Amino acid sequence: MIFYFSGTGNSRFAAMKLASLTGDKAYSIADIFGGDSFKKEGLPNVTGFVFPVYYFGLPEMVKRFAVLPGLRDLLGSYVYCVITCGANPAAADAALAKALGREINYSASLVMPDNYVIAYNPSGPEKAKAALKEADSKLEIISRDINRRKQSFTKKISKTLASKALYPFYNLFRTTLFYYADDNCVGCGLCERLCPDKAIEIKGGKPDWMKYKCQHCTACINACPQKAIQFTALTKKRGRYYILNLNKNKNEPRESNDN
Ligand SMILES: Cc1cc2nc3c(=O)[nH]c(=O)nc-3n(C[C@H](O)[C@H](O)[C@H](O)COP(=O)(O)O)c2cc1C
Ligand code: SF4
Ligand code: SF4
């Protein structure tokens, strides 16, 4: 079984590809929290986690999932994680191991298009295309490693310290206070449908952020076809990055990449 979390599509892309290369089955953590049922199926005795790194650590939902009391019984004897990142995942793998309360047998990171529009311009079309192509080849290697149950997990003090220093800022930035839809919003409802945290409701033809905090995954900002969602005025002039794939059971990415 592969459990994945994805905001803008990179990790879903990686999870689906890994599932097809290893003969496994991928489940969305957000859909499980949303009430979707799942069966213990796919590769026996192997459990994978695929997710983006946030502030050198875990997305809140991944952490919440990893500590679920019943999860331990579902885990295989071989547990791996593949962390997608813009540049550096630091010790996010060690954070997962800690949350699961067990060791991780294999950890890999994948540099993929950067989506963090709140801090800087996300990867433009050319850069994104090149990164996805490279990630695609690296996934072939990772899947071979998994198929032969390679053991590879190294804990480094420098990575742990970097994660310890940066991760607290994630919780601060998870506030929904600064999101708004500007006059370009046409009320299509896509942001509400894509939000993995069910934090958005369309009210009076515009999105309303219903929770004080969300995953901060940037799916809403990046996927809005009108570029109508902002997080303060900072995001107005920035590009957007999203792999639009509304059929979650098929890996058919359609890139919406406007920079
Ligand atoms: C809130 C947030 C924090 C991020 N922090 C990091 C980081 O610490 N290091 C890094 O290399 N990339 C960081 N990124 C980039 C994402 O991890 C990267 O683009 C990832 O592949 C996105 O995956 P997704 O499309 O499945 O959501 C961050 C992105 C977001 C939205
Ligand atoms: S996706 Fe954009 S245009 Fe559609 S409802 Fe949301 S903010 Fe408005
Ligand atoms: S509100 Fe936007 S940033 Fe927050 S979890 Fe939903 S889609 Fe992601």
163 phi and psi angles, rounded to 5 deg: -65, -40
Taking the C-alpha atoms of residue 167 and residue 175, their distance in angstroms, rounded to an integer, is 15
| Nearest-angstrom CA–CA distance, 217 and 2 | 20
173 burial via Cβ count (<10 Å: 0-12, 13-18, 19+): middle
Fold of domain 172-258: Alpha-Beta Plaits (3.30.70)
Domain ranges for the chain, please list them: 2-169, 172-258
45 touches ligand 1 (CB under 6 Å): no
To 10 degrees, the CA torsion angle through 164, 117, 248, 106? -30
Half-sphere exposure of 190 (CA within 13 A, CB side): 19
**Mean pLDDT value of segment 125-141:** 95
What pTM does this model have? 0.95
Q: Is residue 241 within 8 Å of residue 6, measured between CB atoms?
A: no
> CB atoms < 10 A from the CB of 243, how many?
25
Per the listing, tokens 């009430």 go with: 35
| For residues 42-52, average pLDDT | 93
Mean pLDDT of all residues in 205-223: 97
41 confidence band (pLDDT: 50, 70, 90): confident
Q: What is the pLDDT of residue 147?
A: 96
Q: Which ligand is nearest to the CA of 242?
A: 1
Pocket probe for ligand 3: among 28, 212, 218, the residue whose CB has the most ligand atoms within 8 Å is 218
pLDDT tens string 167-180: 999 999 999 999 99
Q: Which CATH architecture has domain 2-169?
A: 3-Layer(aba) Sandwich (3.40)
Q: Is the sign of the CA dihedral 190, 191, 197, 198 positive or negative? A: negative
Q: What integer pLDDT is reported at residue 46 of this predicted model?
A: 96
The predicted pLDDT at position 248 comes to: 53
Q: Over 60: is that where the pLDDT of 252 sits? A: no
**Percent over 70 (pLDDT), the chain:** 94
Task: State whether the beta carbon of 83 lies less than 6 angstroms from ligand 1.
Answer: no
pLDDT over 50 at 253, yes or no: no
Which of 254, 16, 4 has its CA nearest to residue 135?
16
pLDDT tens across 138-154, in order? 999 999 999 999 999 98
Return the DSSP state at 235. Answer: G
How does the average pLDDT of the chain come out, rounded? 93
Percent of the chain at pLDDT exceeding 90: 86
Please tell me the number of the ligand nearest to residue 215's CA: 3
